[in-house]
Structures are given as structure tokens and as C-alpha cells.
Amino acid sequence: MRAAGHFFRNAGRFSHSGPKSSWTWKNRFSANNNPAVRWVWSTLFWLPTFTVFTQVGCTIRAVTGDSMQPTLNPDPSRPRDVALFNRWSIVMKRRYERGDVVAFRSPQEHGKLLVKRLVALPGDKVKTLPPYSDVEVVVPEGHGWLEGDASFNSEDSNHFGPVPLALIDSKLTYVVWPPKRLGAITSHTIGTQSERVVALPLS
């Protein structure tokens, strides 16, 4: 009974102090007490959403080089084009169309992302350009033929052959910067690309 009385007396002391002496994680790390911690918690809350969005949704990147002129970076003296890369249509839907401008992982240099136009799909026959060794090639299953619009200044399938479609990362849909270049990137072949491709008939 003494031990019990001692316990209740001590409990009364704690309850007597009331809310003034009590604290919770919410009070300790509230926005009013610590804005920096609020920012950290907010970032941690939204980070998974942002990560998922960029992995399967869209991302924005600058495009370097002149192998896609005049579609991208038409004027070397002006700022580089910044484009919207749509990963949803590639990663989730696996939708490939002739004429798409796509970003893909280089089959020769690990970690390097290239931007080219998807000229031909599996089963299509392509008349190649130098330095490719064969005059014609039939694109194998699961592969695509990718070329730069400025073929004379592009390292593409005419150098390393058909590219596995699994290496395609995203499709470029819009130029978002600079403002004068704002607009959609259409899916079509240019120059002699269409003339050199015999498309596989649809069954």
C-alpha cells in the first residue's frame, strides 16, 4: 500500500503540471517551432511521389549537340533546347512509332543518353548510310533503327547497328525553352529517312 500511495502521489504531480510540462513529437517539431524541420519533413513526404513521377512520368532535360538539327538546337549560337521527356508512353505503354524523337541509353558507352529519331521498327528494311558495313539491313525483333536528323554529323545506328528497344528511355514531346522555340516535337521522318525505309506491312 505504501508503494501504491507513493505511485499515485507521483502520478498526481505529473498530472498536476498538465499540458505545460507535456510534449509530443508534433509540438516538438511543429512548423512554428522549427521551420527547417518542417521543410525536411515536407521534402521527405513528397520525395517518393516526385521520384515515381520522374521514373514513369515526365522529366525535363537540356539537349546537347547538333546531331538533331534542325529539329533540335537549330542555331548553335543560341541557348540549347530544353525538352520535355515523356517516359510514360515508353516505360509503361511500350509505344513506339516511326518518326518519334527518343532518348535512349547508348549501346556503346555506359551511362550516356543519346537523342535520335526512331526511323524503323522490327521487320523494317533499311538502306543504311556509311560507315555501316551492309548496304541494307532488316531490323531484328525487339530492336529499332535510330538516326540523327543531321545524318552527316550523327553517331547512330549507321555506326552501331540496330538498338534494342529496351534501351529507349523516353520520347521527346515538347521544347519548353528557350521561349521562341516553345512547341511540340512532331513524329515524322525527315530528308531521305522515309525513302530509305521499307516498312513491314501491317498484318
Catalytic center residues: 67, 116
Measure the CA–CA gap between 20 and 24, rounded to whole angstroms: 11
Radius of gyration of the chain, Cα coordinates, nearest whole angstrom: 29
Widest Cα–Cα separation across the chain:
101
What is the DSSP annotation of 25-93? Answer: HHHHT-TTT-HHHHHHHHHHHHHHHHHHHHHHSEEEEE--SSTTTTTS---TTSPPPEEEEE-IIIIIT
- Cell representation of residue 134: 551492309
Cβ atoms of 105 and 169 within 8 Å: the answer is yes
Residue showing cell 530528308: 191
Measure the CA–CA gap between 119 and 68, rounded to whole angstroms: 13
The three-state secondary structure class of 162 is coil
Measure the CA–CA gap between 29 and 41, rounded to whole angstroms: 9
